[in-house]
Structure 1
């Protein structure tokens, strides 16, 4: 159940509100508007007065609601109308008028508009013109001439809504913490529908601005990319001429005068104000840390693999920074994805957006490598060959999002946890689609049984707690294939496997066999070390406590006998 408070100002605010509630609606969506409750139980009802002119009854109702306001004359407050739509979820049962009346009374009491038992409280009415919601309209002057005590009324009605959901068996929503993006208004939804748009302008702008923040390396490029995506920007300048804020608009979204409708960045999302955008761009500026050379797929994957540990062992600011960087990765990932995956990945990015914010301030310093490597993928569109680069990155992103969900759960961030869980569903679908054909292709190149037995023996000795799970997984043949290819490229396969095992614990991995496949693939594509370096690595591994090395693994590939090579 979603309540939302809207304030109306001016001498005609009550008339406009009541006129809208008993009218046809902006798209003829109002059916059978009528009162279900009021401050005194017998207020005039324009929807239930068949023998009188409905407009005359409307005027009578407006006059009665407005009477305490009019009595104050020039001392009346600026905001004179409290308007609160309360909507049930689509899957909720249809409530009766009596049930909606009870809900309305609980809402005005919780908000301080009409506390229970207060005969001098504000005058209010609850209007129902659809099965799934009501509108509560109230005067913002009490009948004794005082102002209502409605401090933090938005939080109060949200808390009451959570109780109502339990009492009436409705869909239970998660309690928010004030860091969520502002929802589109009913007017914005109706406008989008009228224009044939699938999403409101507010939602479209939020997605585009977030994606450009993730892609841009500095402020100049940020504004340039926005213009390229069709977003109009209007800067708010201070006395010095410096930009203090920015507003965004879409060219096709205009008001009655044909002018663009601008949205302040902070109203699109709390992290899209200009100061916060600048702070985010500072982590991708090339000056402090030079960009890494090499394969951006590998760099982005390695950086993403570090997120679970930083979420579980880092402090709050570090963990929050990882969530911001993970959200930026999801924002850009659809652009580099195969066409068949883009829809799922875009939905994952939209869902995870809510999971990138909390009241914990983000430390972004540790996110530079991830943000820059993902930007490099976006800019350079590097060749991905058989698709393994994208598959391994998506697999590590999937694991990171699962840990983000757990992190929010431990910090009791209910809405963020739900958002991460929703993103996880879309990522699992996308990951299955992209990883399966890549792993199948690798498995077709699996080595001989003798070589697989050698790799299996080393796994059983090195990580006995994971060996059975890895060896029985569908990805085992793919893992054996990349180990054999690493060996063919001049690496010592078991040394490479030990390096992959030592990079990070497999506790973080959603699928240990698949995670090892991606790690070995990355390590195997590096330049192979010489014989002396291989021998030194093998000796170092053999001396590691708790690890038993297969005899063949201790001998560099170039020095092995033909029998060993087979």
Structure 2
């Protein structure tokens, strides 16, 4: 259940609000507006009055609501009307008028508009337009001439809404922290429907601006990308002529004068103000460090593999920065993805957007390599052969999102945790569609039975607790192929397998052989150590020094990752 508070000012604020509530609506959506509750339970109801008396009933209602305000004269507050639409979720049961009346009384009491038992409280009415929502309108002067005590009323009504959801068996929303993006209004939804858009302009702009931030290497390219996707930008200039902010509009979305309807970046999302966009772009500008030349699929995968480590071993600001970079990665993945999974990946990106923001400030310094390597994939469209590059990156992103969900849970970020969980569902579907054909192709190139038995023996010695699961895994054949290919390029298969096993525990892996396949594919394509280095490593192990320290890119990660059903 979503309550939203709107304040109105001006000498005719009450008349305008009541006129809207009992009118036809901006898209003729008000089919049967009528009162379900009021401050005295017998206020005039224009919705139930005869047609000839409709205007008179509205005038009476406005006059009664406005009486305490008029009594103050020039001392009346600037904002005189408190308006709160309350909407149920589409899957919620249809509530009766009496149930909506009870909800309205609880909302105005929680907000301080009309506390229980206060006979001198503000005057208010609740109007029902449809099965799924009501509008509460109140005047902001009490009947004793004082102003209501409504400090933090938005938080108070949200808390009450969570209790109402429990009491009425409605969909339970997560408690927010004030960092969510502003939702489109009903007016914006109806306008989008009229224009034939799949989503409201606000949502379309947010997605396009986020993608431009993720893809651009500097401010000039950022604006160019927006223009190329049909977004008009209007800069807000200071006295010095420097840009202090920017507004965005779609060419197809105009007002009644035919002018574009602009939205400030911060109105699209708290992290899309110009200063915050510039901060993000600073991590992808050419200075001071450039991504080393190489396969961008492997570079992006290696950088994404470090996200769990940053989340659980770095400080909070670094962890938050990793979530921002992970969100930018998801924003660009649909553009480079095979057609069959574009829709799922885009839904994952839209869902995870909420998980990229919290009250914790983001330090983006550690995200440069990930952001630049993902940009390289977007720019260069590197050849991916059998699709394993995309599958490896998607596997790593899937793991990172699972860790992000767990990180938000530990920090009690309810909405962000739910967003990451929703993104995970879409990623799992996309991953299954991408990975299965790649694994099937690898399995067709499996080595001889003798070689597979040799790999199995080492596996049983290295991880006896997981060996049976791995050997029974349908992806075992693909795993033996990548081990054999690593050997063919000069690697020691046992060493590479040990390194892959050391990267992360396998306890929670839905398919341990599949997880190891991607790790070994990456390790196997690195430059193989020289025979002298391999001999030195063998001597070190034989002398009891244990396994050599793993390189930073494959250091063991703790704690163990939450299950993500790969």
**TM-score, normalization by structure 2:** 0.94
Q: Give aligned pairs, total.
A: 548
3-state DSSP class of the match of 1:142? coil
3-state DSSP class of the match of 1:421? helix
Contact in 2 for aligned 1:38/1:124 (Cα 8 Å): yes
Note the C-alpha offset of 1:499.
Answer: 2.9
How many Å separate the matches in 2 of 1:51 and 1:349? 50
1:379-424 per-residue CA deviation (whole Å, 9 max, x = no partner) reads 1110000000000100111111111111111111111111011000
Note the C-alpha offset of 1:71.
Answer: 2.1
How many Å separate the matches in 1 of 2:453 and 2:255? 71
Deviates more, 1:44-53 or 1:183-192: 44-53
Note the C-alpha offset of 1:143.
Answer: 1.6
For 1:360-439, list aligned pairs within 5 A. 360-439=360-439
How many Å separate the matches in 2 of 1:109 and 1:57? 26
Give the alignment's Cα RMSD to 1 decimal: 1.7
Residue 484 (structure 1) aligns with: 484
Residue 223 (structure 2) aligns with: 223
Residue 169 (structure 2) aligns with: 169
How many Å separate the matches in 2 of 1:324 and 1:484? 38
How many Å separate the matches in 2 of 1:96 and 1:491? 71
Residue 200 (structure 1) aligns with: 200
3-state DSSP class of the match of 1:176? coil
Contact in 2 for aligned 1:399/1:508 (Cα 8 Å): no
Change (3 A) 1:507 1:226: farther
For 1:260-299, list aligned pairs within 5 A. 260-299=260-299
Residue 45 (structure 1) aligns with: 45
For 1:442-481, list aligned pairs within 5 A. 442-481=442-481
Residue 560 (structure 1) aligns with: none
3-state DSSP class of the match of 1:362? coil
Note the C-alpha offset of 1:52.
Answer: 5.1
Deviates more, 1:522-531 or 1:52-61: 522-531
1:425-480 per-residue CA deviation (whole Å, 9 max, x = no partner) reads 00000000000000011011111111111111112222233322222211111110
1:130-158 per-residue CA deviation (whole Å, 9 max, x = no partner) reads 11111101111222222221111111110
Deviates more, 1:397-406 or 1:277-286: 277-286
1:258-287 per-residue CA deviation (whole Å, 9 max, x = no partner) reads 111111111111111111111111111221
Deviates more, 1:297-306 or 1:516-525: 516-525
Note the C-alpha offset of 1:545.
Answer: 5.6
3-state DSSP class of the match of 2:246? strand
**TM-score, normalization by structure 1:** 0.94
Residue 152 (structure 2) aligns with: 152
Residue segments in structure 2 that go unaligned for 5+ positions in a row? 549-566
Note the C-alpha offset of 1:76.
Answer: 2.2
1:44-101 per-residue CA deviation (whole Å, 9 max, x = no partner) reads 0111223851111111111111122222222322222111111111121111111111
Note the C-alpha offset of 1:7.
Answer: 1.4
3-state DSSP class of the match of 1:249? strand
3-state DSSP class of the match of 1:534? helix
2:3 maps to 1:3: yes
Contact in 1 for aligned 2:540/2:546 (Cα 8 Å): no
How many Å separate the matches in 1 of 2:80 and 2:543? 79
Residue 126 (structure 1) aligns with: 126
1:347-404 per-residue CA deviation (whole Å, 9 max, x = no partner) reads 0000000011111111211111111110110111100000000001001111111111
Residue 564 (structure 2) aligns with: none
Residue 36 (structure 1) aligns with: 36
Contact in 2 for aligned 1:9/1:79 (Cα 8 Å): yes
Contact in 2 for aligned 1:461/1:547 (Cα 8 Å): no
3-state DSSP class of the match of 2:429? helix
Note the C-alpha offset of 1:234.
Answer: 1.1
